[in-house]
Amino acid sequence: MLSRLCIWAEALAMTSPWTNVYGMARTMLALATAATLITSSTETLFRPALGFPGVPACVGAGRLSFFCLIPRADLALAQAIAAAILLVVASGWRPRLTGVPHWWISYSFAVSATIPDGGDQVIQILALLLVPVTVTDPRAWHWQSAPQTPRPIASLVAWSALFVARLQVAGIYLDSSLAKLATPVWADGTAFYYWSTDPAFGTPWWMRGLMEPVITSSLGVALLTWGPLALEFAIALGLVLDQRARSRLLVLGIGFHAGIAVMIGLVSFAIAMCAALILFLRPMRQEFDVRGLAPLRIFRLWFRESTRRALPAHSR
């Protein structure tokens, strides 16, 4: 058994984990937070609330927040700087340099915003777990193909971090599915009715006519309540399922979260969870074909030329 384990570890060490699969997940995680920062006012994100000693709350571990390093009068500036950093992360430039700042901004937002949602918590955890992957990534862009030169120690470190990230995502879905069963409205199959008719989180006005026949049907409400529970539990089992089943769960999971974004409006949460599903269910070796993304190529060329012009002539 030990011999087989050593052979498996040796093969893994010679396989590069630095592909655009984890790069795509990083981009989505960064864009989810950046979108919230860009589209929300400072007064909405950082406002007084019961139990908050200040705005932002700079107590305990919260003192490490990026938003606590800038005077409160300049929170709007801090918000703009944080969004700019996240857009650089999303571009895929220099993962080795942007991995730690990505985690710091994600952590800062999660602990400093007045009402962060579950997606913000997921983003800060996954950004932290991806730090060992980013700091060992030798590429200039995380969209590039995996490097062919073997780097055994760095590969094992990165693969270990990716495995822990997969465990984390599986735990999120397992906890979500089991915890709901402790709530009577989820257990009896009526939760979707209350969520869809809630004034704050209910379905948008243009969907109410379409949803009314469903939510007034006992079978429809039961399916839309228990269906997500079954899907979340199945996604958690993706840790032990074969690749064919995981591929199907990835499509179903992305569709599920896209539906949540449309029906409830939790767009940043949906983007974060889709990124988590990519990390969890898509093989790192099964790279995305990004050669056709013209805007990405244009941005890279512009960034490279701008950087070249900004450098002194002797250092080019």
Reading the chain (316 residues) residue by residue, the pLDDT tens digits are: 667 777 767 777 788 899 999 999 999 999 999 999 999 888 888 877 655 555 677 777 788 899 988 888 888 999 999 999 999 999 999 999 999 999 999 999 998 888 778 889 999 999 999 999 999 999 999 998 888 887 889 999 999 999 999 999 999 999 999 999 888 999 988 888 887 887 777 777 777 777 788 878 888 889 989 999 999 999 999 999 999 999 999 999 999 999 888 888 889 999 999 999 999 999 998 998 876 554 555 555 555 656 565 555 554 4
- DSSP letter, residue 141: B
Helix (H) or strand (E) segment spanning residue 264: helix 243-264
- What pTM was computed for the model? 0.86
Count Cβ neighbours within 10 Å for each residue of 275-307 and write b for 16 or more, e otherwise: bbbbbbbbebeebeebeeeeebeeebeeeeeee
φ and ψ at residue 40, rounded to 5 degrees: -115, 145
